[in-house]
Structure 1
Amino acid sequence: MPRKPLKPCKNPGCPELTQDRFCERHRHQHERTSAAQRGYDHRWRKARDKYLRENTLCVNCLKSNRLTKATVVDHIIPHRGDNKLFWDKSNWQSLCKRCHDKKTMTEDRYQEYKY
């Protein structure tokens, strides 16, 4: 049975041909680890539940004079694997899922570099 033709690696500037999205050299850069490996384990769930019991309303909705139940604990500054920033409660805020998804897709999506 014939195979699909090889296509270029999706990593910008890489000329390698592959059957997957990325060639062997770039695959590891684009693999995502599990939630537990990123720190969202039982300890996080307990801390998250406690924080949501104490901060029940979405902070973004409150700014617009809407009362919406918070369901997500968001890291104001994305931790990107920094364990100290991950557990810093002053970096947490309670958000509803709608506000969290909007923030994640606009502000947190790409890493910003500061020079």
Structure 2
Amino acid sequence: MARLSSIKPRLQALGSRIAAPSDRQEAEAERHRQRDRTQPWRRWYYTERWRQLRKDVWVRDNFTCRMSGIICCGAYPAANSPVADHIIKHNGDEALFWDIDNVQTLAKVIHDRVKQAIENGWSGDVEALIAKVMSEQGWTYRPR
């Protein structure tokens, strides 16, 4: 009778996909650490005063995104989680930072995609960009 020989394994063990952050996540974390070191006003975001102001803005705006009309009912980091956004960049101006009339509620996805594009110099059709971002989320955009 023929003898069975051992078959070499064709699969290799995979490393953990959960344990190590991606290069992109690590780069983003380092960027935040660098900003915290070089921009002293960044500490204001970690205060109870900011947390309270942020909540007051969300309540004032009825947890509704001012740019898209989305109800911001998600928990961070959901696309529909609320973000307190400075309408005019404060760049360390304390009065502008704490001015409640300079803070608005935005849905996280709108803040991260639309508002950041505008702040970075994008000058296209804002309504079209909002509609595109919302469509990608499976949401319907009704201009306000």
Q: TM-score, normalised by structure 2?
A: 0.46
Alignment partner of 1:59: what SS?
Answer: coil
Q: Where does the alignment leave 5 or more consecutive residues of structure 1 unmatched?
A: 1-30, 111-115
Q: Where does the alignment leave 5 or more consecutive residues of structure 2 unmatched?
A: 1-33, 73-80, 122-144
Specify which of 67, 83, 103 is matched with residue 60 of structure 1. Answer: 67
Match in the other structure for 1:10: none
Matched, 1:99 2:126: no
Q: How does 1:1-115 map to 2 (within 5 A)?
A: 31-33=34-36, 37-38=41-42, 39-40=44-45, 41-55=47-61, 56-62=63-69, 67-69=70-72, 71-109=82-120
Alignment partner of 2:84: what SS?
Answer: strand
Alignment partner of 2:92: what SS?
Answer: coil
Q: Percent identity?
A: 34
Q: TM-score, normalised by structure 1?
A: 0.56
Greater helix content: 2
> Rg: which structure is higher?
2
| Residues 92 and 78 (structure 1), Cα distance of their counterparts in 2 relative to 1, 3 Å cut | same
Matched length: 76
Match in the other structure for 1:7: none
User: C-alpha separation between the residues in 2 aligned to 1:36 and 1:42?
Assistant: 17
